[in-house]
Structure 1
Amino acid sequence: MSKRGDRMVNSNKRGSRRAAAARNQNATPPSRKRKPPPATGAKLWLKRIVIGSLAAALLGVIALAVAVGFAAQSLPSYYQLKATQTAQTIVVRARDGREIVELGPSFGEWLDYDEIPQVMKDAMVAVEDRRFYGHFGVDPIRLTGAVLEAFGADKRIGGTSTITQQLARNLFLNNNRSLDRKLREAILALALEWKFSKEQILELYLNKVYFGGGAYGIDSASRNFFSHPATQLSTGEAAIIAGLVKAPSRYSPTADVDKAVARAATVLRLMREQGYISAGEASVDVDAVNLKLRETENSVRYFTDYVLPQLDLLLPETFEPIEVWTTLDVEMQEAATAAISANTPKGAQGALVSLDRDGAILAMVGGTDYVESNYNRATSAQRQPGSAWKLFVYLAALEAGYTPDDPVVDTPVTIDGWTPRNSNGKFVGEIDVRTAFAYSINTVAASLGQDVGFSSVASMARRFGISSPISTYPSMVLGTSEVRLIDMTRAFAAISEKGTSVEPYGITRVTTASGEEIYRHERGRASQLVPAYVAAGITDLLQTAVNTGTGRAAQIGRPVAGKTGTTSSNKDGYFVGFSSGITTGVWMGRDDAKAVGGLQGGRAPAQAFSAYMREAVKGRPIEQFDTEVKLPGWMLEPDDEYLYGDPGDYYFIDEQGNLVEPSRGEGGQPFGVDGEQVPRPQIPVAPGEAGQAASDDFLERATGQRQPPEPPMPRTIRPSDAARERAGQQ
């Protein structure tokens, strides 16, 4: 076909397409899909919430990135951090200003990453941060697991700090457990990971972390505990050092080898599970751990170990040297140490706490030898107080209406299947409350506890500062609930102060090296724990216990009030008492809670109390106790008034329900002194209440619609009867 023919064909095709397009334009357009209706109601709000949450999360990520970036820019260089010592030098002074101890950092040789034994690095990562090499400073897996665990039985978020976070805290922060500090710790950890390598972070951490005993860094710890540099650490020694980070005082090998080895076994197990060592290496030979011999340290370290950690809560963040002025009396501390050393039975431990009338800790001994064991039994150990617990039983009874002279009966008693027995196996019949307490008669204490209620006894103990768990089973009246010695001493100190609360404290003020005062103790507001007559009554009982009862060995030639305590099988011996404004508690026993032959509260503990208190009070004036029990009026009223009060203080109602006084005239108006009627007094009504002037219970009694309860059947112990008999004689 010619070219012209081709052009004609193409022209026809184009024409056909134009015609088809024209037909399509004239044709009815096809139906279009309907657009979905706009979201409304819950769907709209859900959409907004999702978008808002995403936007907020994005802004949060941006803000976090900016904060981390700024933090990374402001961080010192790696070499500056190596040269920085972040630990404080602390000078601790006694109450008279004498220096009693100086605590400061002990740094060994700096070990570069390649010089640190691989087993030391593996041990630390295994126990402190198993995903150290995989996270970015904060471990989201560990944090999520801790949060989920907090919703279980524990109800709190456990430790989630990575090695990097711990390094950030050690370098730049303190140990305050605040949300602000945790957030700053996380940001600084992210900044450290941004700026430094994992190797640099681990090197800084191992050379700076605190291992107890003043040792900072693995080389100092190795020299301190094993007498050789850290480059020579064995697998077992590395595991012991790695285990110290969690609790340097508790797991210190110089304090308790068994605990240190048990903790090291946990470290080795984690190392084996994570593939760092073989099963054959996952054991520690106790005999192979050669500990460095140390010179004897004064028992004052029990006191400093107790008070110095409180600085994290008392002080603002500071790393400059400080001086801590304390309540400790040097002479009293020496007397306390000598008393415990001389009187503690062989194979047992002894502890002592002594408080001034305002709660100042004058002396504290946590054990017979600080070097052998720095575990503070005066503040940390929870042991059964035995009959010393009867303080709270008799306090509850006195508050309920008993008096020291009320009759009680020492006779066999069974409560919910429990039958207490007296230590001598005998029953003496009718005695008074004072005698029952002085000779620590168990059957009477059990009857009193049942009468006032075991929950009332527990509540009384809580009121006086007992913070450990308290049982409400009947046997609790004999001191089966474990307590801390410092708490029991605090309770007796409140009795010494006539029922006023006492808060123990050990730091009076803190100054910087330049003399600037950055903390001063201020006594908190005291509260009256029991009425004055209750405090006087229990003081009467406590004084009798020392004068003629089980605590006679605690006498010091001046008035003393106190109570002995002995647990079953002689596992624990207690004596707590006070004289001349000083309250002292003594405990003795074995750490493994095994029986100690001949240990009784009225013997070794009371003797230690006496030996110490003779020295403690010799410079103080003799003080007589206030034991006069001045009962309140409600305890001395006749029966009807005891139940209802004075008839002149309440109103009756007539047949129409109108309130009238007992002596009334026409229309219910009372007579005045001169016989004239006077207006009925207006009884105030609380805002928002109806105008009823008396309770339904009162109106029922007043109208005779409900009779008063029948008098209780005769009991073995009847304090109210005795009180009323005294009232009738007056």
Structure 2
Amino acid sequence: MRNKKKKDEKRRFNLTKRWKISLTIIGILLVLALIGFAAILYGGRLIVNEEALILDTTTTIETANGEIIGKLYNENRTMVQIDQIPDHVKNAFIAIEDRRFYEHGGVDFKSVFRAIYKDILAMSKVEGASTITQQLAKNLFLSNDKTWTRKSKEVMAAIYLEQRLSKDEILELYLNEIYFGNGVYGIETASNYFFSKSVDDLSIAEGALLAGLAKAPNGYSPINHPDKALNRRNTVLHSMEAAGMISTETRLVEEGKSIDLAIQKLQANPWADSYIDLVMKEASDEHELSIDELKRGGYRIVVNMDDNTQQIAYEKFQEEPYFPGNMAGVEGAFTMMDQETGKIIAAIGGRNYQLGDLNRVMVKRQPGSTIKPIAVYGPAMMKTDKYQPYTLLPDYAIDHNGYVVSNADNVYSNAVTIYDALKYSNNAATVWLLDQIGIDYSKEYLQKMGINLQDEGLAIALGGLSEGITPLQMMESYRTFANAGKMIDSHTIDRIYNKNGEKLYQAEPSETEVFSPQVAWNMTEILSEAVETGTAAAGEFSKALAGKTGSTEHPFVKGQTKDAWFVGYTPQYVMALWMGYDKSDKEHYLTGGSSYPTSLTKAILSEMDSRKPLAESFTKPDSVKNLPKPILLPEITNLQASYEFGGFSIIKGKLSWQGSDDERVIYRIYREEDGIDTRVGEIEGETEFIIDNALFKSNRYYIVPYDPLTKLEGIRSETIELSW
């Protein structure tokens, strides 16, 4: 009995010991498992790049009416949220790529063991067992090589992702990340590319076709290999049926459908390239959005381009007759904005412009005479007590401390009004006027318009600058005349949205007063006349237009032109057009002057007008007065003199003559007596004058017409004697 008792005790002890050992082993295994799992998670964390989870998304540039004119991307992808993707589309990918997606924790070990078995038999890596999570990890963080090291990293990254993200988040990333061939990334972009519809409009068959591309987008391409694509699509439909996602009846119906593609090719819009580059520069300069950020960030940028105007300008810039040069390669730049809002509706940076080229809209050029209104005449007329449109200026060659200026035609009239000096682009009077108002005073006004000059000489008056002014700046500066003297910053971007559709920016441009409304209106009337009968009369445009031409002399070829300009405005738009060579040397010069950019601008406006009528005339603001029309002093002819009886004077002298129909003309009557000419009277608008007590006075008289606007006398008449 005692021995039996001892044996029982020994048996219980051994059993207890075995349990303790087993529990210890289990505990150690659990600890090792936890350590291993922690190691996997830690390894996965090291592999996973958090930034890579933010997928590169295409930025679109579109007009106000929703037309996409450009896309910026590293990978052409439009993000879509998981709840926007139909269940049958999600199920198609799950059925063919990872049927146990919602059951595993990132790695499907059943599939892994099967793949390992086949790899061992083949003594190489021949079969994958990647889950959707593993595919996502590989695509985001790893290379595509088939090695055990890469596979181990893939497993660790997948397990880490499963711990960090929900199944829906993983599936959303996966469907947005997939490459579908033809430069297309993500399910939404693929839907639009292959079927011209959004993902939420895809049918079961269409969703199955896209799911079939995930494995080999080029091999199963419905464009290049339609038969393979059809078979692959049907394989996906069978997988969906096997997984209970669709019925047999549905599968048969969908299998019977042909592949009806509606390819949405990415159209090249060369006519928009200049504008797009201007948008990218504005995004960078004003909104701190670099090109790299735009290519990754998925922004939606709504711009102010009017696509009709942009295309009209682009097409006109292709017409050779508008670009006179001794050699091929004459370039040009054109920009136009809405004068009320500052929205840039068109921008042409070159005649054959491609993205990234030199955008001549932003290149500084010598402005020539287009600077006269903003640097000289506008500022001068702000001194209302000294300078009005009909103020006389000296018109002859004056030596300004060694700087002698001549008129373009070398013709002088001794005196000229501000009105005519600007209308006919008189050089001598302009330089004289700048000298009178002062260079510093002029530059103060230019600075208000965003133009900062380092130059200090009187050559500023004629646009002879060390650096120059851009077409964009010239356009903005003339807006002051188009809109009551106020400056506004031009802009291409109206709104910016992030990839989640949240508005980040809305343009609200502010204005700066530069000139008074009266000076602005005076300038509009003068520059309108310049277009009608002055230096800007070239070309054809029947509606309202005010503007100024400009040209610069070629530095190496005497008598030829380096830069040619027209800057102007209609009641709706302000524009600037430059033409010339990028490189000005003895071999490159314009053979025509400012009449060419003037004619080209009018051709653009005429085409715009034919599609949507432009304004017939400028509307005078209520707060300003119209500028009187210039008075043309007549030549006095048919002067006659006679005596008359009657009245208090008993004998009166009567003078009559042929003058002007303009009743504003004043006629001054002069008497010659003993070598002294005396003005005895004047009369406005009439061509008769009565001389009292004429019998007892000298009887020799002559008439001089007088302009009350310019305070200038005209040519005197012949002398006539009163006689019986």
TM-score, length-scaled by structure 2: 0.48
TM-score, length-scaled by structure 1: 0.48
Higher strand share: 2
